[in-house]
Amino acid sequence: MQSELFAPSHAEVTGAGIQKQGGKMIKVAVNGEVMARAGSMVAYQGELHFQALGAGGIGRAIQQRLTGEGVPLMKVSGRGDLFVASGAADVHTIDLDGTDGLTINGANVLAFDSSLRYDIRMVQGAAGFASNAGLFNCVFTGRGRIAITTHGTPVVLNVDQPTYADPQAAVAWSSSLQTGIKRNDSFGLGRLMGRSTGEGMTLSFSGRGFVIVQPSELPPGGFLGGTGGGQEAGQSGGVLGGLFG
């Protein structure tokens, strides 16, 4: 049998842990456990077990403050190969070496090593906004690899001067950066910027570090405080409802 599909470019990648399989899929060589976005599995081989993460009191408190929708997190354990993707979005991998944390919009998290620690934090100054879209984010620390998604080719901005981004276009940034909220309500500027929140506001960044921005303000779904939207999100319930029970 002959086909261009059998070309080396379509073959499985090799290597341990989390690897890019082309530009829109991740292959994870699981030997133990890995965390992944629930519903992101497109195929797997071997003996793998899937478990939705369970209940926790803090989850209910956070859930009351979120208005977005998304999918929960799952733990995949065993030995085998796991293939994950999210709506044919572009995928990228980032290695954390323990020197600085990485803050990520939950809608853009695809999979990560279980060795990484994560927490949910609200952007400083975001309390009181009617919409929390993009204002709760995941902070990852420690050593390990994480796979993220972007809609379109992202740009990595070097923050060496005051920097601003739409909350849903901002994919990830150095946790060492100081973040805040800038209202864009003068001269009707809010109608031209930050349209994803409907409140005329942008995220502000200062300090030294980087911000990854995607050319889209509408990421589909999310978890761990990611923003809502998209068909997948609507089918999966609340952002943290499935994650914490």
Once rounded to an integer, what is the mean pLDDT over residues 128-146? 74
pLDDT at 10 over 50: yes
Please count the CA atoms within 13 angstroms of the CA of 165 that sit on its side-chain side.
29
Is 177 in contact with 204 (CB distance < 8 Å)? Answer: no
Residue with the larger pLDDT of the pair 81 and 233 = 81
Whether this model's pTM surpasses 0.75: yes
Cα-based angle 202, 70, 195 (whole degrees, multiple of 5): 25
pLDDT at 24 over 90: yes
pLDDT for the residue numbered 188: 53
pLDDT at 228 over 80: no
Residue with the larger pLDDT of the pair 244 and 91 = 91
State how far the alpha carbon of 61 is from the alpha carbons of 204, 224, 240, in Å: 26, 13, 10
Render pLDDT for 49-88 as a digit per residue (tens, 0 to 9).
999 874 333 443 344 344 333 346 899 999 999 999 999 9
pLDDT for the residue numbered 229: 36
Render pLDDT for 75-129 as a digit per residue (tens, 0 to 9).
999 999 999 999 999 999 999 999 999 999 888 999 999 999 988 777 765 555 4
pLDDT at 131 over 60: no
Maximum pairwise Cα distance, the chain: 65
Render pLDDT for 168-215 as a digit per residue (tens, 0 to 9).
899 999 999 998 888 765 545 545 554 544 456 789 999 999 999 999
